Amino acid sequence: MDRAEPRTGTAAPLTRRPVLYNLGSGPRRLLSRMPKDGPFAGWSEVTVDLDPGNHPDIVADIADLSGAVADGAADLIWCSHVLEHFHDHQIPAVLAGFLRILAPDGAAVIRVPDLAQVMRRLDETDLERVLYTSPAGPVSVLDVIYGHRASVEAGNLFMAHRTGFTEVSLARRMLEAGFEEVQTHVGDAMDFWAVGYIGSAANLKLIGQLIGPAQK
């Protein structure tokens, strides 16, 4: 994990429209929630999800995007509350796949539940106590660790969690996978963001627009 001053850098200008890949998008697009004349004007977004019911642009398992997404296609990856749905042993391959589709000077913004925050809030007598309310409904310690139980009960097994992370553990794994630098930022929904860079961190200012209350 690197908590040093943010990187600065400039990259060669793109000769094509920049693209954000929203991996494990769920039903909502990210950039449609950003101001039309804001810093993402001119960007396009490609949504990818395993669940066809979410109507993504690409129905695919993000553990293997070969055949679905070309090498270097993504200027930014946004992957919010998805990595915890994988078995732990799959994480290195998933992160390697992210690096494969990242363009030079690209970055991946990964948001996951924060097991450290959850453990600090653990109430031994009441694992079902509500910690916060998400768009899918109330979320307890059990939900953060094992996946949103109401969604799983409704039959959406994609929502079950199979592993978990702290800021330190995910940053370490991203560095091991080949990201050159990782910065983490605590969220306010029992989660955190890890931003992994390769190259010159050209999209640093844009990432600042993505990480924040607008994305709840």
Shortest Å, Cβ 167 to ligand SAM: 18
- Subset of residues 137 to 196 that bind ligand SAM, contact rule: CB under 6 A: 158-159
Is 57 a binding residue for ligand SAM by CB under 6 A? The answer is no
Segment near ligand SAM (CB under 6 A), from 32-40, 56-64, 67-75, 175-183?
56-64
Query: Of 24, 97, 106, 113, which lies in the binding site for ligand SAM, with binding defined by CB under 6 A?
Result: 24
Both tokens of 110, joined, read 């990964």
Q: What is the 3-state secondary structure (H, E, C) of 73-119?
A: CEEEEEEECCHHHCCHHHHHHHHHHHHHHEEEEEEEEEEEEEHHHHH
Shortest Å, Cβ 81 to ligand SAM: 4
Burial of 162 (0-12, 13-18, 19+ CB in 10 A): middle
Shortest Å, Cβ 44 to ligand SAM: 18
**Binding track, positions 72-91, relative to ligand SAM; x by CB under 6 A:** --------xxx--x------
Segment near ligand SAM (CB under 6 A), from 59-67, 137-145, 175-183, 202-210?
59-67
Segment near ligand SAM (CB under 6 A), from 8-16, 43-51, 119-127, 202-210?
43-51
Both tokens of 35, joined, read 């101001």
Are 196 and 215 in contact, with CB atoms under 8 Å apart?
A: no
Both tokens of 134, joined, read 């998400």
Query: Of 62, 190, 195, 201, which lies in the binding site for ligand SAM, with binding defined by CB under 6 A?
Result: 62
Are 37 and 11 in contact, with CB atoms under 8 Å apart?
A: no
Count of residues engaged in binding ligand SAM, rule: CB under 6 A: 16
Is 69 a binding residue for ligand SAM by CB under 6 A? The answer is no
* Distance separating alpha carbons of residues 26 and 60, to the nearest angstrom: 12
Is 61 a binding residue for ligand SAM by CB under 6 A? The answer is yes
Shortest Å, Cβ 55 to ligand SAM: 11
* Distance separating alpha carbons of residues 128 and 148, to the nearest angstrom: 11
> For residue 77, what are the β-bridge partners?
21, 108
Burial of 114 (0-12, 13-18, 19+ CB in 10 A): buried
Residue with CB nearest ligand SAM? 26
Positions that interact with ligand SAM (CB under 6 A): 24-26, 49-51, 54, 61-63, 80-82, 85, 158-159
